[in-house]
Structure 1
Amino acid sequence: MDIILVPGFWLDGDSWAEVTGPLEAAGHRTHALTLPGKESADADRSGIGLRDHVRAVVERIDALDEPVVLVGHSGGGAIIHAAVDARPDRVRRAVYVDSGPLAAGTAVNPHLPTRGSDLPLPAWDDFEEADLVDMTARIRADFRARAVPEPAAVARDPQELQDPARYEVPVTVIACEVDAATMQEWITQGHPYVSELARIRDREIVDLPTGHWPQLTRPADLAATIITALQTSQPAGDVAP
C-alpha cells in the first residue's frame, strides 16, 4: 500500500525515518511529507495556514494511482482528517498517532505561544509529564536540534470539513499518552475531545504506551502497530504483506 506519513508540529518528513524502514520491509511504499513552511528553520512561514498543509496532503493523494493510507501524528491528525474529507474515496484507512480527527470549527491548539508567523518548539518544562515518557536526554537533544518552527496559523486556523463520507473511512487510533480504555470511556460519555471520532463507523483504538512522540521513542513498535492496522485494510484479492 501507499502510506502517506504526516508529521506533527515542529517535525519534518525525516522524523519518520525509523518507521519507514520496517513499513517498506513489510512491502509498503512510504511517502513521508515535509509540509509547507517546514523545509528549514529559515523557511518563510508567513501566510501558511492549516489549509495549505491539507492541500499538500491532498496533492500527494492525487499524484498516486492507488488508494492510500494516511498516518498523522499529533497536529498531523487534523491535517489527515481534512484530507480524508476532501478525498474519502481515495483513502483506505486513516491512522492517528497520539491524535485524532479534529471536528469542524475547532483548532489544533490556538493557545501555544507564537513568535510572529512562527510557532517555535517550547521548552521541555512547558510540556506535561505524560508527553515526555521515554524521551531520554539524547532523544530530546536530537529533537531540539532537528525542530523546525510550525507555521503559527496551522495551530489556530479552524478546521474546515464538508463531506460526511469521511465517517465511512476506517480509522485506527494509536493511543500513547491516554490509553484506549479511557478514550473509549470518553466516547461513551460524549466527551468533546472525541466527538468527531465517535461519529466514525469503523474505528479501533489500540494502545502503544509511551510519550507523545512514539516515532522517536518506540519507532519499531509504532511501525509494527501500523502494519497490524493495515492488515485489515487489504481489499479483496490483495495479498497482505
Structure 2
Amino acid sequence: MTTNANNSPIILIAGHWLGAWAWDEVCEHLTADGRRAIPMTLPGLDERDSGRASRTLDDQATAIRQTIIGAGASEAEPVVIVAHSGANAPVSLVLDQRPELVRHVVWVDSGPVASGSVFAPDAPEDLDELPLPPFDVLGEQASLESLNTETLQRFRARAVPEPGPVLRQRVELTNDARRAVPTTLVCCSIPSAQITELADAGHPMFAEVSRLDHVDLVDLPTGHWPMWSRPGDLAHIIDEAATTPVG
C-alpha cells in the first residue's frame, strides 16, 4: 500500500539544550512550501518548568508520542519525525514503541541509538543538569562551522541546561520493527562515506545504521547545527524525505 505523504505532519525535535525555537528558520521554509511543521520542546528543556532537572528520557518519549497523536497520526496516516543530535535517544524509544505511527525519520547529524546506550555513562548521580559548555569546549565535541557571532549569542542566551537523568538513562529497545521505518541521515559534520565505513565496521555510535532496512544518506556539509547554518537546504532535504512515497 502506498501512503500519500503530501500532508504528513513534520515533527521537529532539536538536540541538547534546545527547544522548538531552534527550528524557526527551517519552519519558515517548510511552511512557505505548504508543509505542516510542528517543532516541539522536550520535557526538561522548557525554562518555565520548575521541575525540568528531574525529567527523563521516558518523559521525553511520552511527550513525543503525545505530539504525534495530537497531530492526528494513525497507521494509515503516519507522521515524519526530524531528530537532531541528542534527540536521537528519545526518538529511538518512540520508534521502538510506535513504529507504525512514523512514515519516515530524518536524523540531522545524528542517527538511531542501539539498545543499552547511555549518552553520558560517567555522569555522576548528583549531577542535576548540564549547562551549555563554553563554546571553545563545545567546539571540541561538535563542529561550530558556519555559525556567526549573532547565532552563537542567541544559542547562549536561549540554551536550557540538559537534565541529568536524560544524560544517565540507559536506552532499552526491544522491537526490531523500528529498523523498518524509512530513514534519511543528513550528514553534516561527518561525511556520508565516513559514516558508512564506521557503520560497516560496527562502530558503536553508528552500528544501528547498518541494521536499517531502508536508509538514504544525504551530505549537507556544514557544522553540527545546520538548522542555523543552512536552514533552507535542510528544509529542502526534509521536504524531499517527507514526500518520498512509501510502498
Say whether the 8 Å CA contact 2:199–2:208 is kept in structure 1.
no
- Matched residue type, 2:108: V
Quote the residue 1:68 is aligned against.
79
Aligned partner of 2:5 in structure 1 is: none
Query: Which residue of 22, 42, 46 maps to 1:39?
Result: 46
Q: What does residue 211 of structure 2 align with?
A: 199
Q: Which moved more, 1:59-68 or 1:88-97?
A: 59-68
Indicate the SS of the match to 2:64.
helix
Partner AA of 1:87 in structure 2: R
* Structure 1 contact 13–32 (Cα < 8 Å) conserved: yes
Whole-angstrom CA distance in 1 between matches of 2:124 and 2:14 = 20
Moved more, 197-206 or 61-70: 61-70
Matched AA of 1:123: P
Structure 2 residue corresponding to 1:78, chosen from 62, 71, 89? 89
- Write out aligned runs for 1:158-197 (5 A): 158-197=170-209
Note if contact 2:180-2:213 (Cα within 8 Å) is conserved in structure 1. yes
- Structure 2 partner of 1:220: 232
* Equivalent residues of 1:45, 1:118 under 8 A apart: no
Change (3 A) 1:131 1:41: farther
TM-score, scaled relative to structure 2: 0.89
Q: Report how far residue 36 of structure 1 moved.
A: 1.2
Q: Report the Cα offset of residue 149 of structure 1.
A: 0.9
C-alpha separation in 2, matches of 1:108 and 1:83? 17
SS at match of 2:107: strand
Equivalent of 2:17, from 10, 13, 16? 10
Deviation at 1:114, TM superposition (A): 9.4
How far apart, in 2, do the equivalents of 1:115 and 1:217 lie? 35
The 8 Å contact of residues 114 and 120 in structure 1, kept in 2 or not, is answered as: no
Aligned partner of 1:22 in structure 2 is 29
Task: Assess if the C-alpha contact under 8 Å between 1:171 and 1:204 holds in 2.
Answer: yes
Deviating more after overlay: 146-155 vs 115-124: 115-124
Aligned to 2:12, what secondary structure does the other structure show?
A: strand
Alpha-carbon distance between aligned partners in 2 of 1:145 and 1:43, rounded to the nearest angstrom: 18
Deviation at 1:182, TM superposition (A): 0.4
Code of the residue aligned with 1:82 in structure 2: it is L
Q: Deviations over 1:113-172 (max 9, x none)?
A: 998421100011112355111122111111101111111211221112121110110110
Distance of 2:126 and 2:134 partners within structure 1? 14
Instruction: Report the equivalent of 1:239.
Output: none
Residue number in structure 2 paired with 1:94: 105
**What does the per-residue CA deviation read over 1:7-33, in whole Å, with 9 as the maximum and x for residues that have no partner?**
100111011000011112222211111
Change (3 A) 1:98 1:113: farther
CA contact (8 A) 1:53 1:79 kept: yes
* TM-score for the superposition, normalised by structure 1: 0.91
Alpha-carbon offset, residue 43 of structure 1: 3.2
Letter in 2 for 1:14: W
What do you get for the CA RMSD once the two structures are aligned? 1.9
What residue is the counterpart of 2:135 in the other structure?
124
1:210 aligns with 2:222: yes
Alpha-carbon shift at residue 62 of structure 1 (Å): 2.0
In the alignment, structure 1 segments of 5+ residues that lack a partner are 237-241
Unaligned runs of 5+ in 2: 1-7
Answer yes or no: is 1:229 the counterpart of 2:244: no
Structure 1's 110 and 215: CA in aligned 2 closer, same or farther, altered over 3 A?
farther
